[in-house]
Amino acid sequence: MSCAWVATSPRGEENQRPSFSTRSRANRGCRSYGLDPTARSRLNALLLGTMFVGMSVGSALGSIALDRFGWRGVGVFGAVAAAAALLLRLRRHKG
């Protein structure tokens, strides 16, 4: 079996019919493990660096929203950010 079709339960039992989500994650994992270890390391560093920058910017914008608009502004900012992320995700799967 290819690694895209094999999943294990938390107890280590092999599951022959994983969900679509599990297959998708396993397939992405297979592609990255096929790379040279140094390339995987660079991709991981890029992922973590991008996540850090995104979280820092989100925190700064949230602080500005709290300072200017109070907790209601933070809630609106969070809702707008979540809606934007959802729209980007749906748009990405369309094409």
Calpha distance 46→39 (Å, rounded): 11
Residues 15-65 have pLDDT tens digits of: 555 555 555 555 555 666 777 888 888 999 999 999 999 999 999 999 999
Calpha distance 67→87 (Å, rounded): 27
User: Structure tokens of 63?
Assistant: 């602080």
Question: Shortest CA distance to 19 belongs to which of 31, 7, 3, 10?
Answer: 7
* Residue 5, pLDDT above cutoff 60: no
pLDDT at position 6, please? 47
pLDDT at position 55, please? 95
Q: What is the pTM of this model?
A: 0.57
User: Structure tokens of 18?
Assistant: 């994983």
Which range has the worst mean pLDDT, 2-6, 30-34, 67-71, 83-87?
2-6
What number of other Cβ atoms are within 10 A of residue 72's Cβ?
Answer: 10
